[in-house]
A and B are shown apart, each in its own frame.
Chain A
Amino acid sequence: MSALELVCPAGTPAALKAAVDAGADAVYLGFRDETNARNFPGLNFDRDELAEGIAYAHRGGTKVYVAINTYPRAGAPEAWHQALADAARLKADSVIIADLGLADHARRKHPKLRLHLSVQAAASTPEALRFYQKEFGIKRVVLPRVLTVAEIADLIRDAKVEAEVFVFGGLCVMAEGRCQLSSYATGKSPNMNGVCSPASHVAYVEKEGRLHATLGGYTIDSFAKGEAAGYPTLCKGRFRVGETTSYVFEEPTSLNAFALLPELRKAGVTALKIEGRQRGRAYVAQVVAAFRDAVDALDRGKPLPEATLAALTEGGRETGGAYRKTWR
């Protein structure tokens, strides 16, 4: 079994340096526009920053993957095509894509560019994975967060493709790339705009003594005075169904698959992905270092070290997510 590759988020040049210095095997990042799925204000890289970032990463033996993983706008695919061309020109180690048409474009125009399939493509079966390999020469697939560890093991055995799985950070409870809740409430979507529950549509409003966290005018959750008010991520709110109010979709919780690393390794996973391009460099440094220690320990046949990552999870709460069948 070869060592697990640790793929870390770099929302900014500072986070890139932090990840490289903390022992990332690879970092992933995006251009500062709607071509990537973390199109948030103040994040991401312009072309010069990417060139510098790649130089810094490569000096440290770290690879750089460029996420171009939104769906090109109809009639205006130029920004996406340019992103591919620039990633190739600046010698990124791979691009992470989701759109079938863009994959076809990449294969034809940049045949030497290594292609990874984004989680946004939601490829969840051996047939789909083989299809992407055959049609576009996809080398690696970031698996959707809908599969159990057993299903992941089956998938890797059947499809014979490098698999990258999320192990820490924000948790989509819907199949990524197949969710239009955000645009239903705000007009802005992950697939088209690279945003979900965008801050531009968030307002905190006081109503009847409670603080309502609203998104597009919809109360996603409300909090008593003095209670810490969370961010209104659409699928992690408390809603009313019938007589009861509850977290209908998911609690405000983060994925933490740290304890599952031995199982994931046994399942044949190639790479571990840490979510969080919107996070600061201190967070990145701490999480990357913890996973670096864990991967190194596993590689030496040692037990997992103690990790204290709970403080870094959303609301201090964490879940194994879909990796455990009981989550469903």
Chain B
Amino acid sequence: MTARRKKAKGTKAGAALTLGPVLYNWQIDRWRDFYFRMADEAPVDTVVLGEVVCSKRAPFFESTIPKVVERLQAGGKEVVFATLALVTNRREMKAIEELAADGALAIEANDVSALSLLAGRPHDVGPHVNVYNEGTLAWLAGRGARRVTLPVELARDQIAAIAKAGIGVELEVFAFGRLPLALSARCYTARDSGLRKDNCQFVCGGIVDGVDLATQDGKSFLAVNGTTTMSFAWAELSRHAEDLRRLGVRRFRLSPQGVDMAAVARSWRDHLDGKKSAAETAKSLAALAPKAVFADGFYRGTVGAEPVAA
């Protein structure tokens, strides 16, 4: 991998977009085409690549990553490599060590083992590291954190308090897509097929947005995605973007889903650039993901699943 840290292009509105890592096990062709298209068409500043959910998926993508990186960089995107969120064995740890061994790669740490390898050099911290308060943020900043994506369950008041501390770390919020809510050693996609993680037969392969999970009385609730349990509802914080920018949060993460993500990014970009109102943006996002239920309950400090106001 040859991606070097490259400063994200400044945007006139002073707000930036990150395309988060694909959290699902997309087929390799879909995965490659997705990134090529994002490289060419999506107005995002940064693209986070890498397998965060399950190390067993990573080999499928490895040989294609250099091509994707090249294309993304040609498209002017900053490329950051995310580490696995739950590391339980030496093989997984070794993969992170290999990534960290190239001192010039931009890396997003998603657990404390990765943090330990990156201490003392600039790095990013992903949404799977628990940064709940300004004390933790300050401590991470002292170890080289330059950008931190906050935990998805933080409410506005807590985000405001963290931002207000003025620690000098760039703050990012998870602003679009299904929320990764829980990690496990157990694979629930495999379990659902009567299999175990060790002999999973890659049953998650090709499932685009996770598998919907409903209650017994038919109420949509969660989505199963291997070892990660996702929200059924998709985060949609565009209507709070202005508020967040006033608080000092200027970076928004769009998490890949099986919809036109280039168009999603364009909507966001237009909104951040003042070309599209919050209402228009919300409307266009709803049109781009007609089957999705959008939620912003975490941000509003209520129940996470609570839908956005109509």
Q: Do A and B bind each other?
A: yes
**What residues of chain A have their CB less than 8 Å away from a CB belonging to chain B?**
71-77, 98-102, 104-105, 121-128, 130-132, 146-147, 151, 154, 173-175, 177-181, 183-187, 189, 191-192, 207, 212, 216-222, 235, 237-242, 244-246, 248-250, 322, 325-328
Q: Is B152 among interface residues, defined by CB-CB distance under 8 A?
A: yes
Neighbouring A residues of B186 by C-beta, 8 Å = 173, 249-250, 322, 327-328
Size category, B interface: 35 or more
| Contact between A121 and B135, CB atoms less than 8 A apart | no
A75-B167 Cα distance, complex, nearest whole Å = 13
- Smallest CB–CB gap between A171 and chain B, Å? 11
Known contacts A72-B132, A174-B229, A325-B198; decide if A127 and B217 are in contact (CB<8 Å): no
Say which residue of A75, A186, A192, A325 sits within 8 Å of B164 (CB atoms): A75
B130: contacting residue among A98, A238, A328, CB under 8 A = A98
Residues of B within 8 Å of A240, CB to CB, are 213-216, 218
Contacts of B197 in A (CB 8 A): 328
Decide: A178 near B134, CB < 8 A? Known: A131-B116, A191-B153. no
With A77-B135, A179-B181, A248-B224 as contacts: A207 and B187 at CB distance below 8 Å:
no
Bound complex: CA A238 to CA B289 (Å): 28
Measured CA separation A183–B229 after assembly (Å): 13
A325 to B128 CA separation, bound complex (whole angstroms): 24
Identify 7 residue pairs between A and B in the complex whose beta-carbon atoms are under 8 Å apart, listed by A's number. A71-B132, A99-B136, A100-B136, A127-B116, A128-B87, A184-B231, A235-B182
Chain B residues 149 to 200 lying within 8 A of chain A, measured CB to CB, are 151-154, 157-162, 164, 179, 181-188, 191-192, 196-198
State A187–B192 Cα separation when bound (angstroms): 27
- Secondary structure of the B side of the interface? mixed
Separation in Å of the A127 CB from the closest CB of chain B?
A: 4
Indicate whether B254 reaches chain A with its CB closer than 8 angstroms. no
CB of B216 within 8 A of CB of A75, answer no
Q: Does B112 contact A (CB under 8 A)?
A: yes
Instruction: Give Cα A244–Cα B186 distance, bound, in whole angstroms.
Output: 19
Does B308 count as interface, using CB distance less than 8 angstroms? no
- Given the known inter-chain contacts A101-B134, A146-B184, A187-B302, please indicate yes or no for A132 contacting B112, CB distance below 8 A: yes
**Cβ-defined contact, A178 with B112, below 8 A:** no
Known pairs A98-B130, A189-B153; list 13 more (Cβ under 8 Å): A72-B135, A73-B161, A75-B133, A124-B111, A151-B88, A175-B184, A175-B185, A180-B304, A191-B130, A221-B216, A249-B188, A322-B185, A326-B196
Would you call B219 an interface residue if the criterion is a C-beta within 8 Å of the partner chain's C-beta atoms? yes
* Complex alpha-carbon distance, A316 and B213, angstroms: 27
B41 at the A interface (CB under 8 A): no
Contact A74 B159 (CB under 8 A): yes
Closest A-chain residue to B119, C-beta based? A131
Residues from chain B with Cβ under 8 Å of A104 in the complex = 135, 139
Contact among B128, B136, B159 for A101, CB-based, below 8 A: B136
Which residues on B sit within 8 Å (CB–CB) of A237?
215
Measured CA separation A131–B137 after assembly (Å): 17
User: Which of these, B87, B133, B154, B229, contacts A72 with CB under 8 Å?
Assistant: B133
CB distance from A120 to the nearest CB of B (A): 8
Shortest distance in angstroms between B130's beta carbon and chain A's nearest beta carbon? 6
Closest 10 CB pairs of A and B: A101-B135, A75-B161, A101-B136, A131-B116, A146-B185, A184-B304, A71-B132, A74-B158, A74-B161, A328-B197
Q: Which residue of A lies closest to B132 (CB)?
A: A71
- A212 and B88 in contact, given A72-B133, A179-B183 (Cβ under 8 angstroms): no
Q: Are B93 and A127 in contact (CB under 8 A)?
A: yes
CB distance from A2 to the nearest CB of B (A): 27
**CA A302 to CA B284, docked complex, whole Å:** 70
The reply to whether B211 and A328 form a contact with Cβ atoms under 8 Å apart is no
- Determine the residue in chain A with the shortest Cβ distance to B219: A218
Assess whether B277 is interfacial by the CB under 8 Å rule. no
Bound Cα distance A238, B192 (Å)? 12
> CA separation between A177 and B86, bound complex, in Å?
12
Residues of A within 8 A of B1 (CB): none
Instruction: Decide: B217 and A219 in contact? CB cutoff 8 A.
Output: yes
CA distance A75 to B184 in the complex (A): 30
Q: Which of A74, A218, A325 has the most CB of B within 10 A?
A: A74
CA separation between A84 and B231, bound complex, in Å? 35
**Quick check: is B297 within 8 A (CB to CB) of the other chain?**
yes
Partner of B179, one of A127, A184, A189, A328: A184
A137 to B230, CA, bound (A): 35
- Say yes or no: B162 contacts A74, CB within 8 Å: yes
Residues on B with C-beta less than 8 A from A216 are 303, 305
- How many angstroms from the CA of A198 to the CA of B222 in the assembled complex? 18
**Does any Cβ of A come within 8 Å of B89's Cβ?**
yes
CB neighbors of A among B197-243 (8 A)? 197-198, 211-219, 221-222, 224, 229, 231
B79 at the interface (CB under 8 A from A): no
CB of B184 within 8 A of CB of A76, answer no
Neighbouring A residues of B224 by C-beta, 8 Å: 241, 248
Query: Measured between alpha carbons, how far is A250 from B130 in the docked complex, in Å?
Result: 25
8 Å CB contact of B133 from A74, A154, A175: A74
Tell me the complex Cα distance, A192–B150, Å. Answer: 14
Would A181 and B229 be within 8 Å (CB), given that A238-B216, A245-B216 are in contact? Answer: yes
Interface contact B182-A220, CB-CB below 8 Å: no
- Chain B residues lying within 8 Å of A151, measured Cβ to Cβ, are 88-89
- Per the bound structure, the CA–CA distance linking A173 and B138 in Å amounts to 31
Q: Which residues of A contact B164 (CB under 8 A)?
A: 75
Which residues 74-133 of B have a CB within 8 angstroms of A? 85-90, 93, 111-113, 115-117, 119, 128, 130, 132-133
